[in-house]
A and B are shown apart, each in its own frame.
Chain A
Amino acid sequence: MSFETDKKKVEGLGSAHHGAGVWIKERVSSLILVPLTVWGLWGAWTIANTGYDGAWAFVRNPINAALLAVTVLVSIYHMHLGMRVVIEDYLHKTLGKGLSLFLNFVVCAALAVATVISILMVAFGGFGV
């Protein structure tokens, strides 16, 4: 009879078959972002030099508001995953790595909340022409 723990038996033998999760999330979000990035650049072109009224009218349009929300939110999700990889690649000490990963999450969550509130305020708010 062996006194080896289960962990010891599997250590170094490879994936526990859920290691591809983050990889798939990166690919799915990047596939969604391919057309949306082009749309976003087109949007930037459209509102350039149109001032407050032009930008307001653009975001006030329900289709634009929806596409903008998806574009920015999926971008934030994708960049959270990407920055996570960068942190894990370069920071190896528990505290610095942990703090950076935490900060990455907080920053992305804050950006996402600001995005949702801003789009809702423009889409349903009282400002404008």
Chain B
Amino acid sequence: MSNASAGAAGKTRKKPIVRPMSPHLQVWRWHVTMLGSILHRASGVALYVGAFAVVGWLAALAAGPAVYAQFLQCASSPLGLLIWFGLSAAAFYHLASGLRHLLWDTGAGLSPKTASTLSTLSIWFAVIATVAFWAALFASGKVVL
């Protein structure tokens, strides 16, 4: 015992510092700010992937009419349109949710009620703006299936 404690005293420097840890995901009741946070990260990662599509568009444009025609064929296919649709939804959400975060960064809107309202608003904004954007694209004949 005395040996053990002497050994432990010699090794105290190597003991990991115990810092407070946030509770794990499962112990939380589902709430809208949590959904907003998850969607913010998910839409951010989706936009990361979407950046390849946008840079691909630019590269195809730079490569000339023949390559661009091929790009357009992919981009205007049902799968291509679905990707652009998802990308626009991610952009609208990340934009609204990002504004919510910028507001929070000033210290405003952090009461549970206001925070939840802001989160609900950014989700609804993304839904409505995306549907309106694509309804206008189809209505004007710019996009056809």
Contact = CB atoms under 8 A, between A and B. Distances in A.
A51 B61 CA distance: 10
Overall SS of chain B's interface:
helix
A119 B65 CA distance: 15
A59 B59 CA distance: 12
B58 A119 contact: yes
Overall SS of chain A's interface:
helix
Contact of B55 (A52, A59, A118, A121): A118
Contact of B48 (A27, A59, A79, A127): A79
* Chain B interface bracket (under 10, 10 to 19, 20 to 34, 35 or more): 35 or more
Interface string B50-71: 0110110111011011001100
Interface of A: 8, 11-12, 27, 30-31, 33-34, 37-38, 40-41, 44-45, 48-49, 51-52, 55-56, 59, 68, 72, 75-76, 79, 82-83, 86, 111, 114-115, 117-119, 121-122, 125, 127
